[in-house]
């Protein structure tokens, strides 16, 4: 089978290796599509830590950092129940960067880490489910806080996570959803996916979105960037709750102007319940993950795909491992 390995920053090769066999409690997944995770792929390309204390080792684990995959069960390990050969599933949890990943034709996954997905949809609508699960954790939290339905809601950053977030805000009954991003094409796509309007946050928005100490227009928001400027932009313009989804790499400042009710909500972690939530939205037609995929390529063109991400000419690239 084919499996991709990043051997050094900006270097990779596609290997031919034996098809693995699933052990107890695991399944063999025949991968039909796997999507990029721009955070992992770009940090790996530049040997930049993903988070504080992280360090990449090269050559990197074969198949990694691919983890957003869909396909069909090819074989079952001993003791697996609730799954059958031929079932259509997606990986809902990243198994970790130290075991073979999904940039491959086959991968062994713990049975607990895959979930049934609907028939009748293209592979690119199902491969990014793991991202949907991640964002869903924020929205299940905000829903339980009563911080979405009927509210004016903001989404900071309209990359893959932000485009999922605005769809979830709509699905949860937000009255109006506004998006903020530097790139015009992403703002346009967000509007097509249901945002009422989208704005460049570097422009003067004082009339439409007054900042503290004036009364903020947004009632709740989610940040999908993680940068200090992006988070504090929403903190200044949101009345009640700002959920932090983007990876934090620097300190944010909660200033005296933010006192008086502003809540910052951290990330609670991955769960199967969040994966089930995302699958349910897909079944209802309320979450379109295919809209995130701007290009489809074989694994052999991995370098080209990451070039597209780096130049911001792609949102997500979908690899088709059986094509060449």
Residue-wise pLDDT for 155-164, tens only, equals: 999 999 999 9
Considering the domain boundaries, does residue 90 fall inside one? yes
Cα separation of 47 and 152, whole Å?
Answer: 39
Q: What is the pLDDT at residue 260?
A: 80
Domain match, 31 and 90 both: yes
Angle at 278 between CA 77 and CA 76, to 5 degrees: 10
Q: What is the pLDDT at residue 198?
A: 98
Strand partners of residue 178: 154, 197
Domain match, 192 and 310 both: no
Q: What is the pLDDT at residue 259?
A: 87
Domain match, 252 and 309 both: no
Cβ atoms of 66 and 131 closer than 8 Å:
no
Domain match, 92 and 183 both: no
Considering the domain boundaries, does residue 303 fall inside one? yes
Domain match, 110 and 153 both: no
Domain match, 137 and 185 both: yes
How far, rounded to the nearest angstrom, does the alpha carbon of residue 49 sit from its chain's CA centroid? 18
Domain match, 159 and 224 both: yes
Domain match, 257 and 142 both: yes
Q: What is the pLDDT at residue 276?
A: 98
State the total domains in the chain: 2
Domain match, 12 and 45 both: yes
- Which residue shows structure tokens 């992006």? 230
| Three-state secondary-structure class, residue 176 | strand
Least confident of 9-18, 62-71, 94-103: 94-103
pLDDT tens by residue, 300-323: 999 999 999 999 999 999 999 999
Which structural domain, as residue segments, surrounds residue 50? 2-116+288-319
Among residues 222, 250, 265, which one ends one of the domains? 265
- Token representation of residue 68: 């957003």
Evaluate the CA torsion angle 140, 143, 144, 147 in order and state its sign: positive
- Token representation of residue 214: 């004036």
pLDDT tens by residue, 108-122: 999 999 999 999 999
- Mean pLDDT, all residues of the chain: 96
Least confident of 39-48, 78-87, 257-266: 257-266
Domain match, 80 and 135 both: no
Considering the domain boundaries, does residue 91 fall inside one? yes
Q: Residue 296 maps to which CATH number?
A: 3.90.180.10
Cβ atoms of 155 and 224 closer than 8 Å:
yes
Considering the domain boundaries, does residue 270 fall inside one? no
Residue 255 makes CB contacts below 8 A (sequence gap 6+) with none
pLDDT value at 52 more than 90: no
pLDDT tens by residue, 74-97: 999 999 999 999 999 999 999 888
Considering the domain boundaries, does residue 125 fall inside one? no
To the question of pTM greater than 0.85 for the whole model, the response is yes
Q: Model confidence at 50, in pLDDT bands (50, 70, 90)?
A: confident
Domain match, 243 and 205 both: yes
Considering the domain boundaries, does residue 135 fall inside one? yes
Considering the domain boundaries, does residue 138 fall inside one? yes
Cα separation of 65 and 305, whole Å?
Answer: 14
Residue 242 makes CB contacts below 8 A (sequence gap 6+) with 220, 221, 222, 223, 231, 234, 235, 262, 263, 264, 265
Which residues of 200-267 form beta strands (DSSP E)? 218-223, 238-244, 263-265
Q: Residue 254 maps to which CATH number?
A: 3.40.50.720
Considering the domain boundaries, does residue 275 fall inside one? no
| Three-state secondary-structure class, residue 257 | helix
Buried (b) or exposed (e) across 118-141, using 16+ Cβ within 10 A? eeebebbbbbbbbbbbbbbbbbbb
């Amino acid at each position: 089978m084919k499996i991709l390995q990043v051997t050094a920053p900006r270097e990779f090769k596609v290997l031919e290796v034996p098809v693995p066999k699933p052990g107890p409690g695991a399944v063999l997944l025949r991968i039909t599509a796997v999507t990029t995770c721009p955070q992992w792929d770009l940090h790996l390309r530049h040997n930049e830590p993903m988070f504080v204390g992280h360090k990449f080792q090269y050559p990197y684990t074969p198949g990694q950092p691919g983890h957003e995959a869909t396909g069909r069960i090819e074989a079952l390990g001993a003791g697996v129940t609730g799954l059958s050969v031929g079932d259509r599933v997606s990986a809902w949890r990243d198994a970790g960067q130290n075991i073979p990943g999904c940039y491959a034709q086959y991968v062994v996954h713990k049975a607990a880490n895959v979930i049934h997905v609907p028939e009748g949809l293209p592979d690119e609508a199902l491969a990014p489910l793991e991202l949907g699960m991640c964002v869903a954790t924020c929205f299940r939290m905000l829903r339980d806080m009563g911080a979405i339905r009927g509210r004016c809601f903001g989404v900071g950053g309209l990359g893959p996570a932000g485009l999922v977030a605005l769809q979830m805000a709509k699905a949860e009954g937000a009255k109006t959803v506004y998006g903020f991003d530097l790139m015009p094409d992403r703002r346009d796509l967000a509007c097509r996916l249901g945002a009422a309007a989208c704005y460049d946050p570097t422009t003067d928005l004082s009339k439409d979105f007054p900042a503290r100490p004036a009364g903020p227009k947004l009632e709740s928001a989610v940040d999908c960037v993680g940068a200090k400027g992006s988070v504090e932009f929403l903190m200044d313009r949101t009345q009640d709750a700002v959920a932090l989804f983007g990876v934090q790499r620097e300190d944010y400042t909660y200033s005296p102007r933010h006192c008086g009710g502003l809540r910052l909500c951290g990330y609670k972690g991955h769960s199967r319940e969040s994966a089930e939530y995302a699958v349910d939205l897909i079944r209802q037609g309320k979450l379109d993950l295919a809209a995130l995929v701007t290009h489809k390529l074989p694994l052999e063109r991995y370098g080209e795909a990451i070039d597209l991400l780096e130049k911001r000419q792609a949102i997500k690239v979908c690899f088709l491992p059986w094509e060449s």
